[in-house]
Amino acid sequence: MGLSFTLEENKRVNPSPDRRPILVTGASGRIGSYFLRHTAPRYAVSYMVRRAEKGTPLKKYGRMVVADLADQDALAAACQGVDTVVHLAGVPDPAAAWDKLLEANVIGTANVFAAAKAAGCRRVVFASSIHAVSGYPGDVQVRTTEPVNPRDLYGVSKCFGEALGRFYAEQQDLSVIVLRIGAFQKRSGVRRAAALDVMESFVSRRDLTALIVRCIDDETLRFAIFHGLSNNRFKRLDISDARELIGYAPQDDFTNENVLLKPLKLAKTARAGR
């Protein structure tokens, strides 16, 4: 079976070792806004919002860029001088109609990759989704080396982004890291009994932020697919690649948070049984 990652043949020099310049698309979304609030001091941040979101309260975290994914000229300008583009923008709805997915998640993603390449960016971190592999049976833990297997058109749109990312990494010399993100939630949000449906896919805000940081700062990979889950006792996706290749060390576990599972101390029981 083929590898889901490729190492750099030659280490690329970081032009700004103290505060790496990054561009975050989709900055007003749940993932982007939390990421900005908790990492802005670490990077020289530009963040992109749509015209309709121009009043977003993120100004203190970096330089605001007002642009749409369809605006290739604006994207090209936004990528100038940027080391890493964290591409979070797009339609996040698994039930969305194909025309909306095509515009944002396919054409928009293609525009972002093209702009990053043209501007000489080092890397794109692409927000894919667990939906790219959600077609596997529920009792299968999916590894990054497994073929994509979407269950809905939203997942299909993310598969396109993953394939496009590998093309740019292997053929166009633009490093790309793909993150298949699980159920992004506050820890308080999964403490309810009704939250059991994300038991195997939960990723906490702080864990995903830490994973994105690891992806930005790495200088050894040309391409990789990583799974964005917390350290849950039961994991739908395998996270060992992220642990081994970039030192991802998630802190949270759904079973330690949920009101029904926390009293069972499943994580401690598992450790004791090893």
Task: Pick the closest to residue 154 from 176, 124, 129, 135 (CA basis).
Answer: 129
DSSP symbols for 72-118:
HHHHHHHHTT-SEEEE--S---TT--HHHHIIIIIIIHHHHHHHHHH
The answer to whether 202 touches 196, Cβ cutoff 8 Å, is no
Distance CA 88, CA 32 (A): 7
Element (H, E) at 166: helix 153-171
Q: Describe the crossing of helices 153-171 and 109-119 by its angle, rounded to 10 degrees.
A: 20
Which residue do the tokens 């994105």 mark?
Answer: 212
Active-site residue, from 47, 154, 168, 248? 154
Annotated active-site residue 154? The verdict is yes
Which residues carry out catalysis? 154
